[in-house]
Structure 1
Amino acid sequence: MRKVAAAIAMRGGKVLVTRRAAGQKLAGYWEFPGGKLEPGETVETCIVRELQEELGVRSTAGEVLTVSEYIYPGGAISLIAIEVLLEDADFQLTVHDDHVWIALEELLSIDLAPADIPIAKELMKRHGAN
């Protein structure tokens, strides 16, 4: 099972989600930004690296919130949601074509990638959003 880190960046009661660009796997789906752990890498190191590569921003990794396991046609993933503090928000998107800060109660109204849905539900439960 491939381990993948997902950034949970909160600001003003909203969470950051990004949309996969055309030509990418899961194009058109919204997701918590992140990516695959490299060999020997911790989830904390991975999420900081991925946010720099995918969004062009510096960040600090916090606690792991939850893990979502999902089997896609290309293989199974273990999606590890980790709190992050973004040091800036001047995004330069590389594998995404859009980003939005969305209210937690609206998370399930967008087309989230399947592995991200359990994480969205856990966030909503933790923060009392319905």
Structure 2
Amino acid sequence: MKKPVAAAVVHLDGKILITRRAPGQSLAGLWEFPGGKIEHEESPQECIIRELHEELGVESVAGEILTTTTHAYPGGEIELIAISVELQSTQFTLQVHDRFEWVRPQELLRYNLAPADTPIAQEIIRKYG
């Protein structure tokens, strides 16, 4: 069974937020759109608001689903649901990441993205690049 995972696509001044997994985390050193596993009976939007609060310490407003992608990792298959998000603050407190960057859409693929996040980056470039 695919695990549903929400990923935040945050726009600010023409740039997109990506975060890098800290050492000791799964996928350490890879860049991703922040987010996490959707809990039982939680909507993707509820999940992304909770995850951004837990991972980055910020409040947010979740919007529409931009795209969905499926990826099989060694630990199992995930369905990654990319959600358009507006942040209430950009004062981040990183919990599971060691860096964050604001990146222009056309520069996203220059980063070493987690495999499941690459199709989302491609869709962002197609839409906004």
Of all paired residues, the percent bearing the same amino acid is: 55
Q: Using the alignment, how far apart are the partners of 1:28 and 1:47 within structure 2?
A: 22
**Amino acid of the structure 2 residue aligned with 1:76:** E
SS at 1:50's partner residue?
helix
- Normalising by structure 1, we get a TM-score of 0.98
SS at 1:49's partner residue?
helix
Q: Structure 1 residue 88: deviation in Å?
A: 0.3
SS at 2:101's partner residue?
strand
* Aligned counterpart, 1:56: 57
Which consecutive residues of structure 2, in runs of 5 or more, have no partner in the other structure?
A: none
* Aligned counterpart, 2:28: 27
User: Which deviations, in whole Å up to 9, do the C-alpha atoms of 1:62-107 show, x marking residues without a partner?
Assistant: 0000001000000000000000000000000000000000011110
* Aligned counterpart, 1:47: 48
* Aligned counterpart, 1:123: 124
SS at 1:19's partner residue?
strand
Q: Using the alignment, how far apart are the partners of 2:81 and 2:43 within structure 1?
A: 11
Q: Using the alignment, how far apart are the partners of 2:127 and 2:18 within structure 1?
A: 18
User: Which deviations, in whole Å up to 9, do the C-alpha atoms of 1:24-75 show, x marking residues without a partner?
Assistant: 0000000000000011100010000000000000000000000010000000
Q: Using the alignment, how far apart are the partners of 1:110 and 1:49 within structure 2?
A: 26
1:84 matched to 2:85? The reply is yes
Q: Give runs of aligned pairs for residues 96-111 of structure 1, distance below 5 A.
A: 96-111=97-112
Would you identify which runs of 4 or more consecutive aligned residues in structure 1 move more than 2 Å? none
SS at 1:94's partner residue?
coil
Q: Using the alignment, how far apart are the partners of 1:60 and 1:15 within structure 2?
A: 16
The CA RMSD over aligned residues, in Å, is 0.4
SS at 2:11's partner residue?
strand
Q: Give runs of aligned pairs for residues 6-25 of structure 1, distance below 5 A.
A: 6-25=7-26
Q: Structure 1 residue 108: deviation in Å?
A: 0.4
Q: Using the alignment, how far apart are the partners of 2:56 and 2:126 within structure 1?
A: 27
Q: Using the alignment, how far apart are the partners of 1:48 and 1:93 within structure 2?
A: 15
